[in-house]
Amino acid sequence: MAVAAILESAYFLQLNLKAAIKEDADWYNRFTPLSQLIMEMVINISLVRVIKQVIDEDGSVKDSASSALKRARDQVQLLEKKLSQLMDSLIRNEMKETSFLEVSNIDGRWCINSGTGQLTSFNGLLLSSDSGTGRIIEPLSAVPLNDELQQARASVAKAEADVLLMLTEKMKKDLDDIEKVSDSVIQLDVINARATYSLFFRGAPPSLYLSEELDGSFSTETYLSENETLMASFPKEREWLLYMPKAYHPLMLQQHRQNVQKAKKEGSNAPDVSALEQAHPVPVDFFISHKTRVLTITGPNTGGKTICLKTVGLAAMMAKSGLHVLSSESVEIPWFDSVFADIGDEQSLSQSLSTFSGHLKQISDIRSQSTSQSLVLLDEVGAGTNPLEGAALGMSLLESFADSGALLTIATTHHGELKSLKYSNDAFENACMEFDEVNLKPTYKILWGVPGRSNAINISEKLGLPSVVVSNARELHGAASAEINEVIIDMERFKQDSQELLHEARHHLMLSKNLHEKLKLARRKIKEHGTEQRYRKMRQISEAASMARSILHKKVRQLRAHATQTFQPTADQKQLSTSDSRFTAEAKNGRPTESMSTSVVEINKQPSAAMTELPEVGDMVQVSSLGRKATVLRVDRSKEEILVQAGNMKLKLKLAEIGVK
């Protein structure tokens, strides 16, 4: 059933991916190589069906798996029913004389358990006799049935084995494919676990690079990287070897979340839960320059130095494992080939190693195995022996790592001599854990570029140690050391001020960025509004033109409809027609009359000016033959003719017959 479950889940995963690709073909390329891994799985779904047909959900073989199994199980049920009836009959007969009888099952055989010393009326085989549990008797009448039951159960076991053997033979044929599917499902499950973990803790995706890229043109100023236009104008070499702002130790963050969830589950008061939520672990900042090969971290005990080492080491391993790093921003981190750590007490009684010897052996192994691409983490280097010798040995070890050792070495120490390495070797950098002298508590924050200073004497004074003892300690410690501590104090203050100014500058940068985005948004809205207004005006003009065109067409239709009405001549027109007829008759007889000469004179009157081009439909023109104006109904440009209407008359005229309007 486990094999069937794996194959079935892989099968449905493949089906879902195929459906997604069918809906959007870009899905395959978008999730390569995961999509390729899923599609390459060879799944025998018929094997899953066979398994489900013969195996029940609880893992037992079904009755329907084979006819032999069905017959054997039916036989077992029949025999068990007969034995149950037999035992009930025997017990009922004996209950008159005895007070305690019950059915027992010994090694699959049905028996009767009677009280100690009680006799039974039926004959049987005594299987056991115990003063505490009574006597167990197998009745003679039940022996043949028990024998048959044992044989039937053996037949059931054999039939079940035959079914399982059949499934085994089928699985053998696809064993290689099943193993590949199982490996692929495990790989997908691991990837899903990484993604789930990263999303749950809201980690930042790391940007990994090879150490060869350190000299390439690359900038890792992440707080400006969001503004690509601005950063494009400032090409720089890679500034950081390791850039990890506000990084958390995974276990500390997980413990904090578990405590909050536990408080909410237990129903604690709201103020208590709120205070617990605000008591967030303190993140650490790591900004290590690409020129740095050794970082020395100093500070008081319980100040967080070891946690810093572990945070960096876990971040490097998480990034290589495909996990998001628990940081507030995208992390720039090299691809370390190995991470070596010497953290904790390496004392070993079995190997006769002291604390100091254990550390030296561990560091020696790291020194021989590390490469130019490794990360080395050393906790309390040079500790466990004479301070002067330990400091000298620590300085020599760190210098060897800086010259020809790992890509990055981070070491914590209490030796003040190791702080001076920065001023003689550019490959070294100092950092210290901040300490709140007012409250006498560590802040767990890192101050970069500042060596740590001794706080033991000041803490002793604040804790109430006699002033005589404190003064004597300061004299023994030396005035030079006091002056160095004063310089370190000034450096710490300067560093804190610069950090505050940097934070303020970033804040203003974010404000200006937000303002820039708002201005771009307003500009886009103004452009969109202008475009919308222009389109609206054009739409209004188009609608007005359409309406005017419609009115004109309506007028033309009205004029044409009016022109089609039957023409009724007036009295003047009748007189003119009679005159024209008389004129025609007289002209045929060769006797022109006075009226004829008058008509000829009036018709031959020409306008003072004639049109030089054809008018348009709807224009008013002067008709020379009528001596009046008419409306143009149609224009035939090929024949240079127009159709006009004057009152109820329609006339076809040439261009020469038309006067100026």
User: Residue 551 contacts by C-beta under 8 Å, 6 or more apart in sequence?
Assistant: none
Q: Are 331 and 198 in contact (CB under 8 A)?
A: no
- Residue 155: the pLDDT is 92
Contact assessment for residue 428 and residue 402, using Cβ atoms and an 8 Å cutoff:
yes
Tokens of 181: 């599917």
Residues 6+ apart with CB under 8 A from 103: 84, 87, 91, 110, 111, 112, 113
CA dihedral sign, ordered 331, 332, 335, 339: negative
Q: What is the DSSP string of 195-207?
A: HHHHHHTT-B-EE
User: What is the helix (H) or strand (E) element at residue 629, kind and residue range?
Assistant: strand 628-636
> Which residues in the chain come in under a pLDDT of 70?
94-99, 115-121, 129-134, 213-238, 268-270, 301-302, 345-355, 384, 386, 437, 440, 451-456, 458-459, 462-463, 477-493, 495, 565-612, 659-661
CA-CA distance, 489 to 482, in Å (whole number)?
10
* pLDDT at residue number 409: 93
List CB contacts of 145: < 8 A, sequence separation 6 or more: 79, 82, 83, 86, 110
439 SS3 class: coil
Upstream peptide bond of 33 is cis (omega within 30 degrees of 0): yes
Place of tokens 């490959």: 427
Tell me the torsion sign for CA atoms 538, 544, 548, 549.
Answer: positive
User: 237: which strand partners?
Assistant: 217
Query: What is the per-residue pLDDT for 480?
Result: 45
Q: Are residues 418 and 429 in contact, defined by beta-carbon separation less than 8 angstroms?
A: no
Distance CA 154, CA 148 (A): 10
- DSSP letter for each residue of 153-196: HHHHHHHHHHHHHHHHHHHHHTHHHHHHHHHHHHHHHHHHHHHH
Backbone angles phi, psi at 499, to 5 degrees: -65, -40
Distance CA 203, CA 193 (A): 14
Contacts of 563 (CB under 8 A, 6+ apart): 633, 645, 650
Task: Give me the pLDDT at residue 300, please.
Answer: 72
In the numeric block, which tokens belong to residue 296?
């020395």
Residues in CB range of 404: below 8 A, 6 or more apart:
372
Question: Residue 607's pLDDT is what?
Answer: 42
Token pair, residue 364, equals: 């020696």
Per-residue confidence (pLDDT) for residue 522, from 0 to 100:
92
pLDDT of residue 256: 87
* Selection from 391, 397, 408, 239 nearest residue 313 by Cα: 408
